[in-house]
Amino acid sequence: MVVWIRSLGVFAAMLLALQPAHARDRDGKYANSPLHEWFEQLASKKGRCCSDADGRALSDIDWDSQDGHYRAHIDGEWVDVPEDAVVTEPNRAGRTMVWCFWLDGHPQVICFMPGSMT
């Protein structure tokens, strides 16, 4: 019984560690961040990134590039990033970020900003 409870605690801690970092500032706690205004104006050809979608930072293993096209691993699914969703301005945050919404249970990328893949 103790082993099962300990395993459950470890599993819960792992799940919390794997939660995505969100770029949207719903409650204003990042209002004084030096990057706040930059995130708010960030856009791709599909539209503003933070206006209707939650952003998340991706680990280097959760995105790749092949033949000039990107794809991202979002909620267990590899998604091809549309060319017009790529943010073309320099990445001031440093980390790879993706903003998406869900259609029929599948993520649709609105904005994608590649990082350094270090």
Phi, psi at 24, each rounded to 5°: -80, 140
pLDDT tier at 39 (50, 70, 90 boundaries)?
confident
- Claim: this prediction has a pTM higher than 0.75: no
Q: Each residue of 42-66: pLDDT tens digit?
A: 999 999 998 666 789 999 999 999 8
**pLDDT value at 78 more than 60:** yes
The phi and psi torsions of 49 (rounded to 5 degrees) equal -70, -50
Kindly state the average pLDDT of the residues 56-83: 94
Closest of 41, 95, 66 to residue 112, by C-alpha: 95
